[in-house]
């Protein structure tokens, strides 16, 4: 996908701090962390947002959460929040679906 920051990161055209990667998913450190631990769990398939998920993406969406669990265990996180912003009004800035993993301080989400 042209002009997608996360596709460029996935293709290694743009540098990032990679925490974990397999054939379908990449986990990177957020460039502008909101919490002491702020990771982004990103499918390599370009899906613009939750509103663009199809039934065929069901397993991949499950794998995002399983990857969050795996990384949290590896990073010895006691607790964490998982968050997906959907659409501009929902706080989504990058139009390539991603799961935020936030940890390291209490987080208030209204
Ligand atoms: P959104 O608001 O779309 O849910 O979250 C996008 C996140 O991506 C933000 O937390 C932002 O800091 C992060 N981000 C934006 N551009 C880059 C980048 O080039 N590299 C990394 N590592 N994170 C980015
Ligand atoms: Zn993309």
Q: What is the mean pLDDT of residues 47-68?
A: 98
Q: What is the DSSP string of the chain?
A: -TT-HHHHHHTTSS---EEEE-SSEEEEE-SS-SSSEEEEEEESS----GGG--GGGHHHHHHHHHHHHHHHHHTT-S--EEE---SGGGT--SSS--EEEEESS-----
| pLDDT at site 51 | 98
15 lines ligand 1 (CB under 6 A): no
| pLDDT at site 3 | 92
Whole-number Å distance, alpha carbon 57 to ligand 1 midpoint, is: 22
Q: Which of 11, 31, 91 to mutate to test the pocket of ligand 1 (most atoms within 8 A of CB)?
A: 31
| pLDDT at site 2 | 77
Q: What is the mean pLDDT of residues 65-93?
A: 97
Higher pLDDT, 110 or 26: 26
For the segment 74-84, what is each residue's pLDDT rounded down to a tens digit? 999 999 999 99
User: Is 98 tagged catalytic?
Assistant: yes
Whole-number Å distance, alpha carbon 110 to ligand 1 midpoint, is: 21
List, as ranges, residues with CB under 5 A of the ion ligand 2: 1, 4, 6-7, 46, 96
For the segment 7-54, what is each residue's pLDDT rounded down to a tens digit? 999 999 999 999 999 999 999 999 999 999 999 999 999 999 999 999
Q: Please give the model's pTM, rounded to 2 decimal places.
A: 0.97
Say yes or no to pLDDT of 60 above 90. Answer: yes
């Amino acid at each position: 996908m042209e002009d997608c920051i996360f596709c460029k990161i996935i293709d290694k055209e743009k540098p990032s701090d990679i925490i974990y990667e397999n054939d379908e998913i990449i986990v990177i450190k957020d460039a502008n962390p909101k919490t002491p631990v702020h990771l982004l769990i990103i499918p390599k398939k370009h899906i613009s947002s939750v509103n663009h998920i199809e039934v065929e993406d069901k397993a991949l969406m499950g794998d995002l959460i399983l990857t969050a669990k795996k990384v949290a265990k590896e990073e010895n996180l006691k607790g964490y929040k998982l968050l997906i912003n959907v659409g501009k009004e929902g706080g989504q800035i990058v139009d390539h679906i991603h799961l935020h993993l936030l940890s390291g301080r209490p987080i208030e989400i209204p």
